[in-house]
Structure 1
Amino acid sequence: MQEDYYLGAYWGPRKETALECAQRAVLFFHMLARCDPTFAQWYRGGRGAPRDLPGHPVRAEETEWEQLFLHGRNRTDLGKKVIEDLGFREHVWNAKKERTRVELHCGEYSPFGAGNTCLFYPPEEGPGRERILSAPVLAEVLTRVATAWDPDYAMASSTEMVRLIKKRKREVRVGWLTYLSRRLGTLPPLPAPVRIEPVGTLGWLLVLSPEPMTASNPEHVAFTARVRELLDRAGLIERPKPGSASE
Protein backbone atom coordinates (compact mmCIF):
# COMPACT_ATOMS: atom_id res chain seq x y z
CA MET A 1 0.00 0.00 0.00
CA GLN A 2 1.31 3.43 -0.95
CA GLU A 3 1.97 5.68 2.03
CA ASP A 4 1.05 9.38 2.11
CA TYR A 5 4.17 11.50 2.53
CA TYR A 6 4.32 15.16 3.44
CA LEU A 7 6.75 17.73 4.76
CA GLY A 8 5.69 19.90 7.68
CA ALA A 9 7.38 22.82 9.44
CA TYR A 10 6.05 24.16 12.74
CA TRP A 11 6.76 27.13 15.00
CA GLY A 12 5.14 28.81 17.97
CA PRO A 13 3.63 32.29 18.35
CA ARG A 14 5.51 34.85 16.26
CA LYS A 15 3.98 38.26 15.61
CA GLU A 16 4.77 39.28 12.03
CA THR A 17 3.04 41.61 9.61
CA ALA A 18 1.65 40.54 6.25
CA LEU A 19 4.67 42.20 4.61
CA GLU A 20 7.14 40.34 6.82
CA CYS A 21 5.39 37.05 6.03
CA ALA A 22 5.40 37.99 2.34
CA GLN A 23 9.15 38.54 2.45
CA ARG A 24 9.60 35.07 3.89
CA ALA A 25 7.26 33.57 1.27
CA VAL A 26 9.10 35.23 -1.62
CA LEU A 27 12.44 33.99 -0.32
CA PHE A 28 10.98 30.50 0.13
CA PHE A 29 9.51 30.20 -3.36
CA HIS A 30 12.62 31.64 -5.01
CA MET A 31 14.72 29.00 -3.24
CA LEU A 32 12.15 26.26 -3.83
CA ALA A 33 12.35 26.81 -7.59
CA ARG A 34 15.95 25.57 -7.49
CA CYS A 35 14.92 22.22 -5.97
CA ASP A 36 12.88 20.91 -8.92
CA PRO A 37 11.75 22.26 -12.33
CA THR A 38 8.09 21.77 -11.38
CA PHE A 39 8.46 24.32 -8.56
CA ALA A 40 9.05 27.28 -10.89
CA GLN A 41 5.41 28.47 -11.07
CA TRP A 42 2.62 28.38 -8.51
CA TYR A 43 -1.12 29.07 -8.69
CA ARG A 44 -4.00 29.98 -6.39
CA GLY A 45 -7.74 29.55 -6.56
CA GLY A 46 -10.46 32.11 -7.15
CA ARG A 47 -13.05 33.03 -9.74
CA GLY A 48 -12.04 33.93 -13.26
CA ALA A 49 -8.91 31.80 -13.48
CA PRO A 50 -7.82 30.97 -17.08
CA ARG A 51 -9.25 27.59 -18.10
CA ASP A 52 -5.97 26.44 -19.61
CA LEU A 53 -4.08 27.05 -16.35
CA PRO A 54 -4.25 25.34 -12.93
CA GLY A 55 -5.46 28.62 -11.39
CA HIS A 56 -4.42 32.25 -11.06
CA PRO A 57 -0.61 32.51 -11.49
CA VAL A 58 1.15 33.74 -8.36
CA ARG A 59 4.27 35.86 -8.79
CA ALA A 60 7.05 35.58 -6.23
CA GLU A 61 6.82 39.29 -5.38
CA GLU A 62 6.38 40.91 -1.99
CA THR A 63 3.44 43.11 -2.96
CA GLU A 64 1.47 40.18 -4.36
CA TRP A 65 2.10 37.91 -1.40
CA GLU A 66 1.33 40.70 1.05
CA GLN A 67 -2.10 41.10 -0.55
CA LEU A 68 -2.69 37.35 -0.56
CA PHE A 69 -1.91 37.17 3.15
CA LEU A 70 -4.10 40.17 3.96
CA HIS A 71 -6.94 38.53 2.05
CA GLY A 72 -6.32 35.27 3.90
CA ARG A 73 -6.71 36.64 7.42
CA ASN A 74 -8.91 34.82 9.93
CA ARG A 75 -12.22 36.57 10.61
CA THR A 76 -15.06 36.22 13.09
CA ASP A 77 -18.20 34.40 11.93
CA LEU A 78 -20.31 37.32 13.09
CA GLY A 79 -19.37 40.65 11.52
CA LYS A 80 -16.37 39.21 9.66
CA LYS A 81 -13.93 41.18 11.83
CA VAL A 82 -10.25 40.39 11.41
CA ILE A 83 -8.75 38.30 14.23
CA GLU A 84 -5.32 39.89 14.28
CA ASP A 85 -3.50 37.42 16.52
CA LEU A 86 -4.41 34.41 14.36
CA GLY A 87 -2.20 35.58 11.52
CA PHE A 88 -2.52 34.79 7.82
CA ARG A 89 -3.29 31.77 5.65
CA GLU A 90 -2.78 30.92 1.98
CA HIS A 91 -2.29 27.82 -0.13
CA VAL A 92 -0.95 27.36 -3.65
CA TRP A 93 -0.25 24.50 -6.07
CA ASN A 94 1.81 24.00 -9.20
CA ALA A 95 -0.28 21.90 -11.62
CA LYS A 96 -3.76 20.58 -12.45
CA LYS A 97 -2.63 16.96 -12.19
CA GLU A 98 0.32 15.46 -10.35
CA ARG A 99 0.34 18.61 -8.26
CA THR A 100 2.50 19.63 -5.35
CA ARG A 101 0.62 21.74 -2.80
CA VAL A 102 1.95 24.24 -0.25
CA GLU A 103 -0.15 25.48 2.67
CA LEU A 104 1.08 28.43 4.75
CA HIS A 105 -0.09 29.73 8.13
CA CYS A 106 2.12 32.50 9.51
CA GLY A 107 2.10 35.63 11.65
CA GLU A 108 0.02 34.00 14.39
CA TYR A 109 0.89 35.20 17.89
CA SER A 110 -2.03 33.93 19.94
CA PRO A 111 -0.73 31.53 22.64
CA PHE A 112 -3.90 29.48 22.14
CA GLY A 113 -3.86 29.25 18.34
CA ALA A 114 -3.15 26.22 16.17
CA GLY A 115 0.42 27.38 15.54
CA ASN A 116 2.31 28.58 12.48
CA THR A 117 3.00 26.03 9.77
CA CYS A 118 4.42 25.46 6.31
CA LEU A 119 3.04 22.22 4.86
CA PHE A 120 4.35 20.71 1.63
CA TYR A 121 2.43 17.88 -0.06
CA PRO A 122 4.13 16.13 -3.02
CA PRO A 123 2.16 14.59 -5.90
CA GLU A 124 0.05 11.57 -4.99
CA GLU A 125 0.90 9.86 -8.28
CA GLY A 126 2.84 10.25 -11.53
CA PRO A 127 6.51 10.19 -12.55
CA GLY A 128 7.38 13.29 -10.53
CA ARG A 129 6.34 11.70 -7.24
CA GLU A 130 9.32 9.34 -7.01
CA ARG A 131 11.74 12.10 -7.96
CA ILE A 132 10.42 14.51 -5.33
CA LEU A 133 10.17 11.77 -2.70
CA SER A 134 13.92 11.24 -2.71
CA ALA A 135 16.29 12.17 0.09
CA PRO A 136 18.30 14.70 -2.00
CA VAL A 137 15.23 16.67 -3.17
CA LEU A 138 13.38 16.57 0.15
CA ALA A 139 16.56 17.53 2.03
CA GLU A 140 16.85 20.58 -0.23
CA VAL A 141 13.20 21.49 0.30
CA LEU A 142 13.52 21.05 4.06
CA THR A 143 16.61 23.26 4.11
CA ARG A 144 14.75 25.94 2.12
CA VAL A 145 11.80 25.77 4.52
CA ALA A 146 14.10 26.12 7.53
CA THR A 147 16.00 29.02 6.00
CA ALA A 148 12.92 31.00 4.96
CA TRP A 149 10.54 30.35 7.86
CA ASP A 150 12.92 29.61 10.79
CA PRO A 151 10.60 26.99 12.35
CA ASP A 152 11.15 25.29 15.67
CA TYR A 153 11.23 21.97 13.84
CA ALA A 154 10.29 20.39 10.53
CA MET A 155 10.16 16.87 9.17
CA ALA A 156 9.39 14.78 6.10
CA SER A 157 7.56 11.55 6.76
CA SER A 158 4.52 9.50 5.92
CA THR A 159 1.40 10.14 7.95
CA GLU A 160 1.39 6.43 8.82
CA MET A 161 4.90 6.67 10.31
CA VAL A 162 4.01 9.78 12.32
CA ARG A 163 1.07 7.95 13.89
CA LEU A 164 3.31 5.07 14.91
CA ILE A 165 6.17 7.18 16.32
CA LYS A 166 4.60 10.09 18.19
CA LYS A 167 3.65 9.51 21.84
CA ARG A 168 2.18 12.86 22.86
CA LYS A 169 -0.38 15.11 21.22
CA ARG A 170 2.08 18.01 21.35
CA GLU A 171 5.64 17.03 20.57
CA VAL A 172 8.42 17.56 18.05
CA ARG A 173 7.77 14.99 15.36
CA VAL A 174 10.64 12.87 14.10
CA GLY A 175 10.57 11.70 10.50
CA TRP A 176 12.69 10.21 7.77
CA LEU A 177 14.21 13.69 7.49
CA THR A 178 14.03 16.01 10.50
CA TYR A 179 15.07 19.62 11.08
CA LEU A 180 15.65 20.86 14.63
CA SER A 181 16.22 24.49 15.55
CA ARG A 182 19.08 25.29 17.92
CA ARG A 183 16.43 26.97 20.08
CA LEU A 184 15.29 23.51 21.17
CA GLY A 185 18.56 22.56 22.84
CA THR A 186 21.73 20.57 22.17
CA LEU A 187 21.79 17.67 19.74
CA PRO A 188 22.92 14.37 21.33
CA PRO A 189 25.06 11.72 19.59
CA LEU A 190 22.91 9.69 17.19
CA PRO A 191 23.49 6.19 15.79
CA ALA A 192 24.60 5.38 12.24
CA PRO A 193 23.44 5.73 9.54
CA VAL A 194 21.94 9.07 10.68
CA ARG A 195 23.56 11.93 8.77
CA ILE A 196 23.67 15.32 10.52
CA GLU A 197 24.07 18.50 8.47
CA PRO A 198 24.07 22.07 9.81
CA VAL A 199 21.51 24.47 8.34
CA GLY A 200 23.50 27.68 8.55
CA THR A 201 23.46 28.87 12.14
CA LEU A 202 19.77 28.00 12.57
CA GLY A 203 19.80 24.29 13.35
CA TRP A 204 20.46 20.79 12.11
CA LEU A 205 19.10 18.53 9.39
CA LEU A 206 18.93 14.84 10.34
CA VAL A 207 18.70 12.30 7.52
CA LEU A 208 17.85 8.90 9.00
CA SER A 209 18.24 6.99 5.73
CA PRO A 210 19.17 7.62 2.08
CA GLU A 211 16.00 5.73 1.14
CA PRO A 212 12.39 6.49 2.16
CA MET A 213 11.48 5.27 5.64
CA THR A 214 8.18 3.38 5.54
CA ALA A 215 5.72 2.48 8.26
CA SER A 216 5.33 -0.96 6.67
CA ASN A 217 8.97 -1.80 7.44
CA PRO A 218 9.42 -2.83 11.12
CA GLU A 219 13.14 -1.98 11.02
CA HIS A 220 12.37 1.55 9.81
CA VAL A 221 9.78 2.00 12.57
CA ALA A 222 12.13 0.69 15.26
CA PHE A 223 15.04 2.86 14.15
CA THR A 224 12.91 6.02 13.92
CA ALA A 225 11.52 5.29 17.39
CA ARG A 226 15.07 4.85 18.71
CA VAL A 227 16.17 8.23 17.33
CA ARG A 228 13.05 9.84 18.80
CA GLU A 229 13.83 8.35 22.21
CA LEU A 230 17.41 9.68 22.16
CA LEU A 231 16.16 13.14 21.21
CA ASP A 232 13.50 12.96 23.92
CA ARG A 233 16.11 12.11 26.56
CA ALA A 234 18.06 15.18 25.42
CA GLY A 235 14.98 17.36 25.99
CA LEU A 236 14.33 18.10 22.31
CA ILE A 237 10.92 16.45 21.88
CA GLU A 238 8.53 17.89 24.48
CA ARG A 239 6.75 21.10 23.50
CA PRO A 240 5.20 23.62 25.94
CA LYS A 241 1.45 23.62 26.35
CA PRO A 242 -0.47 26.48 24.70
CA GLY A 243 -0.44 29.59 26.84
CA SER A 244 2.50 28.54 28.99
CA ALA A 245 5.02 31.19 29.94
CA SER A 246 7.85 29.45 28.11
CA GLU A 247 6.13 29.38 24.70
Structure 2
Amino acid sequence: MKEHYFVGAYWGPRQETAPECARRAENFLHLLSRCDPTFAQWYRGGRKAPPGLPGHPIQEAGDLERLLLEGRNRSDFDRKIILEDHGFMAGVFNAKKGRTQLDFHCGAYFPEGHNFCLLDPPSEGPVRERLLSAPVLAQVLTCMATAWEPDFATASSLEMLRHTEKREWEVRVGWLTYVSRRLGTVPPLPAPVRIEPVGTQGWLLTLSPERMTADNPEHVAFTARVRELLDRAGLVEHPHAARQ
Protein backbone atom coordinates (compact mmCIF):
# COMPACT_ATOMS: atom_id res chain seq x y z
CA MET A 1 0.00 0.00 0.00
CA LYS A 2 1.31 3.43 -0.94
CA GLU A 3 0.85 5.71 2.01
CA HIS A 4 -0.04 9.41 2.00
CA TYR A 5 2.66 11.15 4.02
CA PHE A 6 2.33 14.77 5.08
CA VAL A 7 3.81 17.27 7.53
CA GLY A 8 1.35 19.37 9.51
CA ALA A 9 1.59 22.02 12.23
CA TYR A 10 -1.52 23.02 14.19
CA TRP A 11 -2.44 25.70 16.72
CA GLY A 12 -5.58 27.06 18.28
CA PRO A 13 -7.18 30.52 18.08
CA ARG A 14 -4.59 33.26 17.54
CA GLN A 15 -5.58 36.68 16.28
CA GLU A 16 -2.99 37.95 13.81
CA THR A 17 -3.18 40.41 10.94
CA ALA A 18 -2.43 39.56 7.32
CA PRO A 19 1.00 41.32 7.52
CA GLU A 20 1.85 39.34 10.67
CA CYS A 21 0.84 36.05 9.05
CA ALA A 22 2.74 36.97 5.89
CA ARG A 23 5.91 37.61 7.90
CA ARG A 24 5.58 34.20 9.54
CA ALA A 25 5.03 32.58 6.14
CA GLU A 26 8.00 34.42 4.64
CA ASN A 27 10.22 33.30 7.52
CA PHE A 28 8.96 29.74 7.11
CA LEU A 29 9.76 29.69 3.38
CA HIS A 30 13.20 31.16 4.09
CA LEU A 31 13.96 28.48 6.69
CA LEU A 32 12.46 25.76 4.50
CA SER A 33 14.79 26.64 1.60
CA ARG A 34 17.66 25.14 3.61
CA CYS A 35 15.95 21.75 3.83
CA ASP A 36 15.97 20.81 0.15
CA PRO A 37 16.96 22.46 -3.16
CA THR A 38 13.38 22.14 -4.46
CA PHE A 39 12.23 24.49 -1.69
CA ALA A 40 14.19 27.45 -3.04
CA GLN A 41 11.27 29.00 -4.98
CA TRP A 42 7.51 28.94 -4.47
CA TYR A 43 4.64 29.99 -6.70
CA ARG A 44 0.98 30.89 -6.49
CA GLY A 45 -1.63 30.00 -9.05
CA GLY A 46 -3.58 32.40 -11.24
CA ARG A 47 -3.96 33.47 -14.83
CA LYS A 48 -1.17 34.96 -16.94
CA ALA A 49 1.75 33.37 -15.13
CA PRO A 50 5.17 34.28 -16.62
CA PRO A 51 6.04 32.04 -19.60
CA GLY A 52 7.92 28.91 -18.67
CA LEU A 53 7.17 29.14 -14.94
CA PRO A 54 4.80 26.92 -12.91
CA GLY A 55 2.94 29.99 -11.64
CA HIS A 56 3.47 33.48 -10.29
CA PRO A 57 6.68 33.52 -8.20
CA ILE A 58 6.50 34.43 -4.52
CA GLN A 59 9.30 36.92 -3.98
CA GLU A 60 8.54 38.80 -0.76
CA ALA A 61 6.21 39.10 2.21
CA GLY A 62 3.99 41.47 0.21
CA ASP A 63 3.20 38.69 -2.28
CA LEU A 64 2.21 36.41 0.58
CA GLU A 65 0.11 39.11 2.24
CA ARG A 66 -1.88 39.70 -0.96
CA LEU A 67 -2.38 35.96 -1.34
CA LEU A 68 -3.59 35.63 2.25
CA LEU A 69 -6.01 38.52 1.83
CA GLU A 70 -7.44 36.85 -1.26
CA GLY A 71 -8.10 33.78 0.89
CA ARG A 72 -10.48 35.50 3.33
CA ASN A 73 -14.10 34.43 3.68
CA ARG A 74 -16.21 36.55 1.33
CA SER A 75 -19.87 36.77 0.44
CA ASP A 76 -20.78 35.11 -2.86
CA PHE A 77 -23.18 37.98 -3.54
CA ASP A 78 -21.03 41.11 -3.21
CA ARG A 79 -17.58 39.69 -2.27
CA LYS A 80 -17.60 41.58 1.02
CA ILE A 81 -15.53 40.15 3.88
CA ILE A 82 -17.52 37.90 6.21
CA LEU A 83 -16.39 35.96 9.26
CA GLU A 84 -13.51 38.29 10.11
CA ASP A 85 -12.43 35.98 12.91
CA HIS A 86 -11.85 33.07 10.49
CA GLY A 87 -8.49 34.46 9.41
CA PHE A 88 -6.71 33.85 6.11
CA MET A 89 -6.01 30.90 3.81
CA ALA A 90 -3.40 30.49 1.10
CA GLY A 91 -1.67 27.79 -0.91
CA VAL A 92 1.64 27.76 -2.78
CA PHE A 93 3.58 25.15 -4.72
CA ASN A 94 7.08 24.70 -6.13
CA ALA A 95 6.67 22.94 -9.49
CA LYS A 96 4.20 21.90 -12.19
CA LYS A 97 5.03 18.20 -11.96
CA GLY A 98 6.22 16.39 -8.88
CA ARG A 99 5.24 19.40 -6.81
CA THR A 100 5.33 19.92 -3.07
CA GLN A 101 2.20 21.74 -1.95
CA LEU A 102 2.00 24.12 1.02
CA ASP A 103 -1.28 25.29 2.55
CA PHE A 104 -1.70 27.81 5.36
CA HIS A 105 -4.66 28.79 7.51
CA CYS A 106 -3.63 31.49 9.96
CA GLY A 107 -5.05 34.38 11.95
CA ALA A 108 -8.27 32.55 12.92
CA TYR A 109 -9.40 33.49 16.42
CA PHE A 110 -13.01 32.41 16.91
CA PRO A 111 -13.37 30.18 20.02
CA GLU A 112 -13.40 26.85 18.18
CA GLY A 113 -11.00 28.08 15.51
CA HIS A 114 -7.88 26.30 14.40
CA ASN A 115 -4.90 27.27 12.29
CA PHE A 116 -2.50 25.08 10.40
CA CYS A 117 0.40 24.78 8.02
CA LEU A 118 0.42 21.66 5.84
CA LEU A 119 3.16 20.35 3.56
CA ASP A 120 2.32 17.60 1.07
CA PRO A 121 5.38 16.08 -0.65
CA PRO A 122 5.21 14.74 -4.21
CA SER A 123 3.27 11.52 -4.63
CA GLU A 124 6.23 9.77 -6.26
CA GLY A 125 9.77 10.26 -7.55
CA PRO A 126 13.25 10.99 -6.17
CA VAL A 127 12.23 14.22 -4.41
CA ARG A 128 9.60 12.32 -2.41
CA GLU A 129 12.14 9.69 -1.39
CA ARG A 130 14.62 12.38 -0.37
CA LEU A 131 12.04 14.27 1.69
CA LEU A 132 10.67 11.19 3.45
CA SER A 133 13.74 10.65 5.61
CA ALA A 134 13.94 11.32 9.32
CA PRO A 135 16.73 13.96 9.12
CA VAL A 136 14.95 16.03 6.43
CA LEU A 137 11.56 15.78 8.13
CA ALA A 138 13.15 16.81 11.43
CA GLN A 139 14.44 19.94 9.68
CA VAL A 140 11.03 20.67 8.17
CA LEU A 141 9.26 20.26 11.51
CA THR A 142 11.83 22.49 13.20
CA CYS A 143 11.20 25.16 10.55
CA MET A 144 7.45 24.93 11.11
CA ALA A 145 7.82 25.13 14.88
CA THR A 146 10.17 28.11 14.66
CA ALA A 147 8.11 30.13 12.20
CA TRP A 148 4.54 29.33 13.25
CA GLU A 149 4.90 28.52 16.98
CA PRO A 150 2.23 25.80 16.81
CA ASP A 151 0.86 23.74 19.68
CA PHE A 152 2.06 20.61 17.94
CA ALA A 153 3.20 19.28 14.58
CA THR A 154 3.64 15.87 13.04
CA ALA A 155 5.21 14.09 10.10
CA SER A 156 3.34 10.88 9.43
CA SER A 157 1.07 9.06 7.04
CA LEU A 158 -2.70 9.35 7.20
CA GLU A 159 -2.85 5.56 7.24
CA MET A 160 -0.73 5.40 10.41
CA LEU A 161 -2.92 8.01 12.11
CA ARG A 162 -6.04 6.04 11.27
CA HIS A 163 -4.53 3.10 13.15
CA THR A 164 -3.42 5.06 16.21
CA GLU A 165 -5.71 8.08 16.79
CA LYS A 166 -8.46 7.53 19.35
CA ARG A 167 -10.20 10.88 19.69
CA GLU A 168 -11.81 13.14 17.13
CA TRP A 169 -9.61 16.02 18.33
CA GLU A 170 -6.16 15.22 19.65
CA VAL A 171 -2.47 15.93 19.28
CA ARG A 172 -1.35 13.81 16.35
CA VAL A 173 1.48 11.45 17.25
CA GLY A 174 3.39 10.18 14.22
CA TRP A 175 6.77 9.13 12.94
CA LEU A 176 8.06 12.55 14.04
CA THR A 177 6.13 14.76 16.45
CA TYR A 178 6.71 18.26 17.79
CA VAL A 179 5.09 19.24 21.09
CA SER A 180 5.07 22.80 22.41
CA ARG A 181 6.04 23.47 26.03
CA ARG A 182 2.64 25.13 26.32
CA LEU A 183 1.07 21.66 26.41
CA GLY A 184 3.25 20.27 29.19
CA THR A 185 6.43 18.26 29.66
CA VAL A 186 7.43 15.26 27.56
CA PRO A 187 7.87 12.15 29.75
CA PRO A 188 10.67 9.57 29.34
CA LEU A 189 10.00 7.48 26.25
CA PRO A 190 11.33 4.06 25.20
CA ALA A 191 14.20 3.52 22.78
CA PRO A 192 14.74 4.23 19.96
CA VAL A 193 12.74 7.48 20.45
CA ARG A 194 14.96 10.52 20.17
CA ILE A 195 13.91 13.65 22.08
CA GLU A 196 15.48 16.96 21.03
CA PRO A 197 14.70 20.51 22.16
CA VAL A 198 13.53 23.01 19.56
CA GLY A 199 14.98 26.20 20.98
CA THR A 200 12.97 27.12 24.06
CA GLN A 201 9.67 26.38 22.31
CA GLY A 202 9.23 22.63 22.68
CA TRP A 203 10.50 19.17 21.85
CA LEU A 204 10.92 17.15 18.68
CA LEU A 205 10.30 13.41 19.03
CA THR A 206 11.66 11.04 16.38
CA LEU A 207 10.21 7.59 16.93
CA SER A 208 12.58 5.81 14.56
CA PRO A 209 15.44 6.65 12.19
CA GLU A 210 13.75 4.46 9.56
CA ARG A 211 10.51 5.33 7.76
CA MET A 212 7.54 4.21 9.80
CA THR A 213 4.70 2.67 7.83
CA ALA A 214 1.18 1.52 8.58
CA ASP A 215 1.99 -1.73 6.76
CA ASN A 216 4.41 -2.70 9.53
CA PRO A 217 2.56 -3.99 12.64
CA GLU A 218 5.59 -3.26 14.84
CA HIS A 219 5.61 0.36 13.70
CA VAL A 220 1.89 0.70 14.40
CA ALA A 221 2.21 -0.89 17.84
CA PHE A 222 5.19 1.27 18.80
CA THR A 223 3.51 4.49 17.65
CA ALA A 224 0.41 3.54 19.64
CA ARG A 225 2.59 2.86 22.70
CA VAL A 226 4.30 6.26 22.48
CA ARG A 227 0.91 7.94 21.99
CA GLU A 228 -0.39 6.22 25.13
CA LEU A 229 2.60 7.40 27.19
CA LEU A 230 2.13 10.96 25.95
CA ASP A 231 -1.59 10.71 26.68
CA ARG A 232 -0.88 9.65 30.26
CA ALA A 233 1.32 12.75 30.57
CA GLY A 234 -1.60 14.92 29.44
CA LEU A 235 -0.08 15.82 26.07
CA VAL A 236 -2.51 14.22 23.63
CA GLU A 237 -5.97 15.57 24.41
CA HIS A 238 -6.20 18.93 22.65
CA PRO A 239 -9.40 20.84 21.83
CA HIS A 240 -8.00 22.68 18.80
CA ALA A 241 -6.34 19.81 16.90
CA ALA A 242 -7.17 20.17 13.20
CA ARG A 243 -8.01 17.39 10.81
CA GLN A 244 -6.17 16.68 7.57
TM-score bucket (shorter structure): over 0.9
**Aligned residue number for residue 214 of structure 1:** 213
> Quick one: which amino acid aligns to residue 42 of structure 2?
W
Q: Which moved more, 1:47-56 or 1:154-163?
A: 47-56
Q: Does 1:186 align with 2:181?
A: no
| Rounded Cα–Cα distance in structure 1 between residues aligned with 2:120 and 2:145 | 16
Query: How many correspondences in the alignment?
Result: 240
| Rounded Cα–Cα distance in structure 1 between residues aligned with 2:163 and 2:144 | 25
| Rounded Cα–Cα distance in structure 2 between residues aligned with 1:76 and 1:207 | 44
**Aligned residue number for residue 66 of structure 2:** 67
**Aligned residue number for residue 102 of structure 2:** 102
| Rounded Cα–Cα distance in structure 2 between residues aligned with 1:209 and 1:143 | 17
Give ranges in structure 2 of 5+ residues lacking alignment. Answer: none
Distance 1:79 1:58, change over 3 A: same
| Rounded Cα–Cα distance in structure 1 between residues aligned with 2:26 and 2:195 | 28
| Rounded Cα–Cα distance in structure 1 between residues aligned with 2:73 and 2:63 | 18
Deviation at 1:73, TM superposition (A): 1.0
| Rounded Cα–Cα distance in structure 2 between residues aligned with 1:177 and 1:240 | 21
* Within-5 A mapping of 1:1-247: 1-59=1-59, 61-82=60-81, 83-113=83-113, 115-240=114-239
Deviation at 1:146, TM superposition (A): 0.3
Q: Is the 8 A contact 2:3 2:159 kept in 1?
A: yes
| Rounded Cα–Cα distance in structure 2 between residues aligned with 1:223 and 1:78 | 51
Q: Is the 8 A contact 2:184 2:235 kept in 1?
A: yes
| Rounded Cα–Cα distance in structure 1 between residues aligned with 2:239 and 2:132 | 31
Deviations 1:73-116 (A, max 9, x none): 11234433212100001001101111101000000001133x10
SS for the counterpart of 2:22 is helix
| Rounded Cα–Cα distance in structure 2 between residues aligned with 1:111 and 1:142 | 26
Give ranges in structure 1 of 5+ residues lacking alignment. Answer: 243-247
| Rounded Cα–Cα distance in structure 2 between residues aligned with 1:99 and 1:240 | 32
SS for the counterpart of 2:8 is strand
RMSD, aligned CA: 1.2
Deviation at 1:51, TM superposition (A): 4.3
Q: Is the 8 A contact 2:12 2:240 kept in 1?
A: no
Q: Which moved more, 1:66-75 or 1:101-110?
A: 66-75
TM-score relative to the length of structure 2: 0.95
Runs of 4+ residues deviating >6 angstroms: none
Distance 1:111 1:217, change over 3 A: same
Q: Is the 8 A contact 2:46 2:55 kept in 1?
A: yes
